[in-house]
Structure 1
């Protein structure tokens, strides 16, 4: 089937021809992009047996959104199995929602834990602190409970959950700063970072086949928001020991046309043993996959989150001088892991929020480029929130991608000066600085830390305001509309080495595009948040229609 797109207001993301009114799609690729007369002339020279005309009614058309960093499988599991704790304004409300879920929804015969996701103690109006095991025990000591902070770097377990994970007064010491205790040395249920990740990976969960069906079903949620491509960190959200089976199932589902969302896996491999299994035992690299599903890079975590004060800083936190956060690795170990990925010509992308962690990541990438300069994988730093000017300049010098989540300022603008001080805070969230320097800066959401909806992120990027309109936070980092849209489409394709095939409405590129009811270039700021996706196309086929 050939498509003739007419009467459209097309933002092509192609700098050679930024605007068009019509396009022809043949076999899942754009064959002609231009005016209606140009596309009509093309079709007269290249007549098509089956031609479907799409009259866009003058509506805005652009390439599909590409979320450059999220956790799709985590989102899917949360949609199906977790209690929603987002929006809780008190500790009391968190406990109330969990108690209600236990009484009304929880089925212990399934063998799953009672889990909840999305609380943020900074929004509590009663006590601004982490919950503890004692409070969760007041809900139940018979069944295991785990509740996860919105950043997903902190979790809290009840005593039954700790019993199942063998965390007690005798064992808690082995976890160091990653497991908190009461004054008497008894674990209080709070777990952090790598320990938290390991426990999440060990939770009972549906099998791979069932998870695959859930992932296929949830595609529609993303298509409804205009997302046609994602880059997703999922290894730790697969059933323990079955990540490679999950990858194979996704590849097959994509080949059969059941999984249509274009997905690039960011494989979390935090240890040399994990890399041994990936590269040596399974023989994986970034050649695994197909046009829809592929493995793109190695993912590492170098620190925690700003809200939980586990992001690693070069100096102590302004509002808690007793801590600089948590560095997951020593510099030598991080260097070694990045170099291991680099030696396979595979990008390493590293979670880093604090300026101390960003510095370590830049050093590790610099070391890899120095040791093996003949290889040029597209390394990156995910989040890169707290930075000074010199660090931002090093991104350009070392050719490091800055994976940015503009929607983060909706929360962070209200805490960052308290956490790190005005001087350092004012050089952070440096989106415009990266782009002015020529650093590749793809946008994303870190879903389910934030909603995967792209439009709130675009609004934050072009206004430097929170979603209630407060601000501007950093006026010098405000982006123009075209740049923000480019970062949410074409820039994402660069990360996965697909900049010549995806992310633009241009001849020879994938026909992944969306139709919206608002012109995102010229509408008012608030209308960005109100805009609706009318239709979403992947590979030239409509996968969503409002």
Structure 2
């Protein structure tokens, strides 16, 4: 059935036709975009029957595309203990205890929680440890993750279940926190935390399908029609076949509506080789679920001081953070993916990790110059001008999360010093240089809510807190630039700019309707009040407020 949408304030994000007030959808694609009178003429000539929907003058945009998040983690987080916003270790204990009280007697399965941040604690600004958790239970194994998901804390029951003790801790190096006597203190980091999450995951096929459907509805309410997601580490033992089967079955059943591009976390050469040998490649799949790239983690997070810097932390001269690979190891992984024409998306927050990532990409490009996968760096927070220029020179994508400055503006000067802090989080500079900058949220590290992300990009102000601050006002993007990064650049980042990202004839009919005009607001704060009222995928309504 052909559908005519009229009386819309349609910002197409197509530079050849920036604005329209009507569009026609047939099957799942736009077949006409233009004025209302032109649309009637178009349909009259075709002679086809159609239904008409009045958009009531509301702002219409292409569907938003979150270029980096953790969709399955977000979906399963509804079953975890929420520790977000906890003001003390005492409050963390209280929340965990309350969750345990709701359990059936005798249930000693793993209990997971997430979202704590020691910088917000009002009692002791330290990481929780096994002693804190042991006060709650010595029988139920627990994993409680910091908001960045690069740090977790285990209780004694969990350490025992995982075989982490004084004798075995040394094999994990800096990934296990130790007490003065050599006993583990319960803190685990980075790849050990990732492996733990995969090992204790209880998700099966049916549970996966159930939570995917629930989570996609949450995404639609934020205007997200596409997400690019790192999910493999959240299924049992990194079973990506199970993950893709869940998506495939939902699509066959007509229940998968959101478009998912998988950023596949595989950090050993043998695992990447096996992945390719099985036939997985960039673009494998359908327009609802596909392989986008190989995901690699080069360092940790700024808040936990595990982001890899080139110089010691300004507020802790004893560390430069954690490098998850040697340069040689990273070079090998990037080269393997590059020669298989599959992009890599490398998590790199610190300038040291970013430099390593750029070096590895440059070596791969020189080794196989005829191959041109669109490699990218995820987060790319701590930078200087030379690093930014290398992004452009190497045509490296920047997957950024504007909402990060809400918290990071409070710590970046302490962590890296004034000079480096003022050349970091510079998305406008990147975009002005012609670097492809796409927006994501890293959800559930941050909320998947789209308006706070846009607000952060165009105002450079904090969203939370009683007092408004501004971080590097010269890096504020225009609304046009921000929406471009959330739509067109998201599609480019996944190599799908020919089929989505703008409201254009022939492209997939994914679009959203908002309750106010983001391009004509009375004040910045109105951005945060803006709501998505309708979301369409394939031209079909999938969400209405």
Q: TM-score, normalization: structure 1?
A: 0.98
- SS of the equivalent of 2:439 reads coil
The structure-2 alpha-carbon separation of the partners of 1:443 and 1:108, relative to structure 1 and needing over 3 Å to count, comes to: farther
Alignment check: 8 A CA contact 1:317 1:323 kept: yes
Q: Tell me the CA shift for residue 219 of structure 1.
A: 1.1
Distance 1:413 1:46 in 2: 56
Distance 1:256 1:96 in 2: 42
What is aligned with 1:276?
Answer: 273
* Unmatched tracts of structure 1, length 5 or more: none
1:110, CA displacement in angstroms? 6.4
Aligned to 2:544: 545
Partner deviation per Cα, 1:399-436 (whole Å, 9 max, x = no partner)? 00000100000000000000000100000001011101
1:25 aligns with 2:25: yes
Q: Within 5 Å, give how 1:332-347 maps onto structure 2.
A: 332-347=328-343
Query: Does the residue aligned with 1:32 lie in a helix, a strand or coil?
Result: strand
CA contact (8 A) 2:71 2:215 kept: no
- How many residues are paired up? 542
> CA 1:198–1:5 in structure 2 vs 1: closer, same or farther (change >3 Å)?
same
Q: Distance in 2 between matches of 1:352 and 1:47?
A: 55
Distance of aligned partners of 1:107 and 1:448 in 2 relative to their CA distance in 1, 3 Å threshold: farther
> Which residue in the other structure is 2:182 paired with?
185
Q: How does 1:87-166 map to 2 (within 5 A)?
A: 87-104=85-102, 106-107=103-104, 112-166=109-163
1:136-535 to structure 2, matched below 5 A, reads 136-280=133-277, 282-468=278-464, 470-523=468-521, 524-535=523-534
Write the distance in 1 (CA, Å) between the matches of 2:221 and 2:137. Answer: 38
Aligned-pair CA distance for 1:205: 1.1
Taking structure 2 as the reference length, the TM-score comes to 0.98
Instruction: Measure how far apart 1:286 and its partner are.
Output: 1.7
SS state at 2:44 partner: helix
Structure 1 residues 321 and 14: CA distance shift in structure 2, 3 A: same
- Map Cα deviations across residues 485-531 of structure 1 (whole Å, 9 max, x no partner): 01001100001111011010111111100000011111131111111
Farther off after superposition, 126-135 or 216-225: 216-225
Q: Please state how far the C-alpha of 1:10 moved relative to its aligned partner.
A: 0.8
Q: CA RMSD in A?
A: 1.2
Answering whether residue 53 of structure 2 is matched by residue 54 of structure 1, we say yes
Aligned-partner Cα distance in 2 for 1:327–1:495: 25
Give the 3 Å change call, closer, same or farther, for CA 241–501 of structure 1 in structure 2. closer
Q: Tell me, what secondary structure is at the counterpart of 1:368?
A: helix
In 1, Cα distance between equivalents of 2:496 and 2:420:
35
- Residues 66 and 440, structure 2, Cα contact 8 Å, conserved in 1: yes
Give the SS at the match of 1:442. strand
Q: Distance in 2 between matches of 1:68 and 1:108?
A: 42
Measure the CA separation in 2 of the matches of 1:476 and 1:406. 14
Displacement of 1:244 in angstroms is 1.3
Deviations along 1:373-421, one digit per CA (max 9) or x if unpaired, are: 0000000000000000010010000000000100000000000000000
Contact 1:426–1:474, Cα closer than 8 Å, also in 2: yes
Matched residues in 2 for 1:353 and 1:103: separation? 39
State the shift of 1:54 in Å. Answer: 1.4
Distance, in Å, in 2 between the alignment partners of 1:389 and 1:416 is: 17
